[in-house]
């Protein structure tokens, strides 16, 4: 499982991140932000030429905290 900490912002459907390791830079360059909720992030990017209308979608989901 990968984890990441930082501050995120969205400008013109582009996701940006700020953490101790980097400054305000695009995290998912060229990907369209389709859905953003408290628990879900859905990104879409064209595969090959955009005019072919073939896309890849990536879905990130926040999992509930594990009680110890």
> What radius of gyration do the chain's Cα atoms show?
14
Confidence of residue 64 (pLDDT cuts 50, 70, 90): confident
User: Is residue 54 within 8 Å of residue 67, measured between CB atoms?
Assistant: no
Instruction: Indicate whether 66 pLDDT > 80.
Output: yes
User: Is residue 6 within 8 Å of residue 19, measured between CB atoms?
Assistant: yes
Instruction: Indicate whether 61 pLDDT > 80.
Output: yes
Interval 10-54: pLDDT, tens: 778 777 767 666 555 555 556 788 898 999 989 888 888 878 889
Specify the pTM: 0.60
pLDDT of residue 20: 65
> Alpha-carbon distance 43 to 37, whole Å?
12
């Amino acid at each position: 499982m990968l984890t990441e900490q930082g501050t995120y912002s969205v400008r013109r459907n582009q996701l940006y991140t700020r953490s101790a390791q980097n400054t305000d830079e695009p995290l998912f360059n060229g990907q369209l932000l389709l859905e953003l909720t408290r628990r879900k992030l859905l990104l879409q990017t064209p595969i090959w030429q955009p005019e072919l209308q073939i896309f890849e979608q990536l879905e990130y989901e926040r999992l509930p905290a594990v009680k110890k």
